[in-house]
Amino acid sequence: MSVLVYVEQVDGKFKKSVFEAVSYAKAIADKQNSSLTAISIGNVNENELNELGKYGASKVLSVSNDQLKNFVNQAYAAVIAEAAKKENATVVVLSNSFSGKGLGPRIAVKLEAGLVDGAVELPNLDGGKFQVKKTAFSGKAFATVELTSAIKVIALNPNAFGVKENATAVAIETFNPEVKSTDFAAIVKEVVRATNKISLPDAELVVSAGRGLKGPENWGMIEELASLLGAATACSKPVSDANWRPHEEHVGQTGIAISPNLYIAIGISGAIQHLAGVSSSKTIVVINKDPEAPFFKVADYGIVGDAFEVVPKLIEALKAHKG
Amino acid sequence: MKILVCISNVPDTTTKITFTNDNTQFNTSGVQFIVNPYDEIALSKAIELCEGGKGTVTVINVGESATEPTIRKALAIGADDAVRIDAAPRDAYFTAYQIAEYAKSNDFDMILCGRESIDYNGSQVAAMVGEFLDIPSISIIKKLDYDGTTATVEREIEGGKEVISVSGKFIASCAEGTAEPKIPNMRGIMSARTKPLQVVAAKEIAQLSKVQQFETPPPRGTVKLVPAEETAKLIDLLHQEAKVI
Ligand SMILES: Cc1cc2nc3c(=O)[nH]c(=O)nc-3n(C[C@H](O)[C@H](O)[C@H](O)COP(=O)(O)OP(=O)(O)OC[C@H]3O[C@@H](n4cnc5c(N)ncnc54)[C@H](O)[C@@H]3O)c2cc1C
Ligand SMILES: Nc1ncnc2c1ncn2[C@@H]1O[C@H](COP(=O)(O)O)[C@@H](O)[C@H]1O
């Protein structure tokens, strides 16, 4: 019996969300008195693979096969399912990332496993059951799901568990399962990734702005504030609809749901569809000139004022704070 | 060309979410149901691709008869016909299995879903259907071009995008950007009433998951207001009190 965690690499490196998934998987393995194996696909060097031991993986299956250089969910799912069988895994953990969302369901079907996506807590194993809490209704609620299958698959939400160190000696093993050529019908032509930007779904801090900013030319101060904080930028739906900002920044019920440690909402009214995607943020700050804006009702801190005066002051204060 | 579009019936986005029966069931009383907003995007894309007699669009829903107004709405937007698999969708695995079984016996070139249903937010159905049918599945796309045999799609990834080319059958789940949502016109609404809606019995499959309990997030305390003249104080509070910066 073991727990298997899929560690998604980007250009041969692991992101924080991967160490978080490993930490989470390790905690499940401890609860079940079993061991934790990680599976890495693509070219990752030994130093980087050894990092996984810091968070509790005692074994790493490393798959490096030129065919698997790019992420193709159909082929990756086959490899991970094979690894689960080889390791006798009863639980498979992965990050609920964009790739994870295309991968988890395929692994689950292959293993005839129940799947919980968007898990926010460790499974509750009381009474021999296996119950996991996840977000539902776009963050307006949580659902506790019981999995009754022999094997369980869990996709963990970013920032839900945190990274926990748990140093273990790691054994790295090469794993080369056979891959079917029919699993490569989808061909990756191009990968475009902005390396200088913090990606919104994983961000711990987010600065977001809405229609109160009046126009795209005013986003300079939002970007400056975000960059001083090391935060990602986000926006409300009308802002991306008007092409002031790209679609991938749109948060809310019909955009991305996020749960950063800090969400700063500037010139956003706080409509129910917007709140749906951000209300599970740990701390919420609202800056709005209208004291009646609904967003203040769900905020931890607020400033009633004009964004064009408050934000520059905030930038100054932050610069002073950082020294 | 034949395209199948999967639509789910979800509570309107303004719905205040509450539960009944000891928080084990979603309280549907007074709730308005709509076509899942992402499925509207998928449907609009399918209609676009078939315009000018290039193909037909079938919508499929796994649901009980109460979902028929939502199916009619999809027909009004412009689908040619509809199928309802007659069962309450108990989880994504069940739903995906029903869709896959239907697609096996009816030849489709392409299947489109929404990126996620706004009720259970699984983002599971599309990739599961892909696995049941052993065809490629591409999750969370924001662009789709099709030349009759090969599709070129853009998939969202953290901080960027991936361009993927796929020939032959595939399934994709659509996010914003894929298409402008179409709004039904008068003619669409009139013709929707008489378009074919076939009801098919569901097939049995093992149940692997079950929702035991719902809860709503705990309310936040009251907001701490910082006077606009003392903006710098906010930084101190975030640093010392909230400990987030
Ligand atoms: C089906 C559906 C789905 C939706 N999904 C989403 C979603 O996912 N995400 C989303 O965000 N919205 C969504 N919406 C839209 C949502 O209902 C709101 O319309 C939207 O969130 C409002 O955006 P906003 O707050 O930026 O703009 P507004 O509502 O126009 O608010 C602007 C705010 O800025 C303030 N303001 C103006 N000037 C200043 C200034 N100088 N300084 C400070 N404050 C100022 C105003 O007081 C106001 O509160 C959806 C709507 C529908 C119907
Ligand atoms: N009951 C259903 N009937 C038909 N299609 C569905 C159903 N539930 C979900 N889908 C499709 O699958 C997509 C993803 O749903 P989900 O996996 O539940 O987030 C939706 O956007 C729909 O396209």
Identify the three-state secondary structure at position B240. Answer: helix
> Is residue B197 situated within a structural domain?
yes
pLDDT confidence of residue A140: 86
Per the CB < 8 Å rule, is A115 touching B242? no
Q: Which long-range contacts (CB under 8 A, 24 or more apart) does B63-67 make?
A: B63/B8, B63/B9, B63/B87, B63/B88, B63/B89, B64/B88, B66/B9, B66/B33, B67/B9, B67/B33
- Tell me whether domains A2-184 and A205-322 share a fold: yes
pLDDT confidence of residue A323: 85
- For residue B103, with 0-12 CB atoms within 10 Å meaning exposed, 13-18 middle and 19 or more buried, which class applies? buried
Per the CB < 8 Å rule, is B167 touching A248? no
Per the CB < 8 Å rule, is A102 touching B92? no
> Is residue B92 situated within a structural domain?
yes
pLDDT confidence of residue B218: 86
A142 contacts chain B (CB < 8 A): yes
pLDDT confidence of residue A254: 85
The secondary structure element, H or E, covering residue A206 is strand A205-209
Could you give the CA distance from residue B121 to residue B157 in angstroms, rounded to a whole number?
A: 18
CA angle B188, B190, B195 (to 5 degrees): 80
Those residues whose C-beta lies under 8 Å from the C-beta of residue A68, and which sit 6 or more positions away, are A41, A42, A75, A76, A79, A179
> Is residue B238 situated within a structural domain?
no
How distant, in Å, are the alpha carbons of A135, A170, B116, B177 from that of B141?
22, 37, 12, 8
pLDDT confidence of residue A255: 86
A2-184, what's its fold?
A: Rossmann fold (3.40.50)
For ligand 2, say whether the CB of B60 is within 6 Å of any of its atoms.
yes
Which chain A residues are closer than 8 Å to B245 by Cβ? 205, 229, 262
What's the pTM? 0.95
What are the sequence ranges of the domains in chain A? 2-184, 205-322
> Is residue B206 situated within a structural domain?
yes
Instruction: Give the closest residue to A161 by CA, choosing from A265, A55, A64, A257.
Output: A55
Chunked in runs of 10, what are the mean pLDDT values of chain A (323 residues)?
96 94 98 97 96 98 93 97 98 96 98 97 97 91 96 95 96 95 96 84 95 98 97 97 93 90 98 93 97 97 98 97 89
For A35-56, the DSSP string reads EEEEEEES---HHHHHHGGGGT
pLDDT band at B121 (very low <50, low <70, confident <90, very high): confident
Q: Which of A97, A279, A301 sits opposite B158 (nearest CB)?
A: A97
> Is residue B231 situated within a structural domain?
no
User: What integer is the mean pLDDT of B115-121?
Assistant: 87
Query: Pairing mode, if any, of strands B56-63 and B2-6?
Result: parallel
By residue count, chain A amounts to: 323
Q: Which residue has the higher pLDDT, B153 or A64?
A: B153
Tell me, what DSSP letter sits at residue A184? G
Structural domain that includes position B126: 2-216
Which chain B residues are closer than 8 Å to A114 by Cβ? 93, 208-209
What's the structural domain count of chain B?
1
- Highest CATH level, class, for A205-322: alpha beta
pLDDT confidence of residue A172: 97
For A55-75, the DSSP string reads GT-SEEEEE--GGGSS--HHH
pLDDT confidence of residue B119: 86
> Is residue B245 situated within a structural domain?
no
3-state class percentages of chain B: helix first, strand second, coil last, to nearest 5? 30, 30, 40
pLDDT confidence of residue A247: 87
Per the CB < 8 Å rule, is B245 touching A118? no
> Is residue B222 situated within a structural domain?
no
- Which residue's CA is the closest to the ligand 1 atom numbered 17? A271
Q: At B151, which CATH number? A: 3.40.50.620
In the beta sheet, which residues pair with residue B210? A146
For ligand 1, say whether the CB of A254 is within 6 Å of any of its atoms.
yes
| Residue A46 token pair | 């030994």
CA of A137 to the centre of ligand 1 (A): 19
pLDDT confidence of residue B122: 84
Contact in structure between B114 and B43 (CB atoms under 8 Å): no
pLDDT confidence of residue A181: 94
* Widest pairwise Cα distance in chain A: 62
> Is residue B225 situated within a structural domain?
no
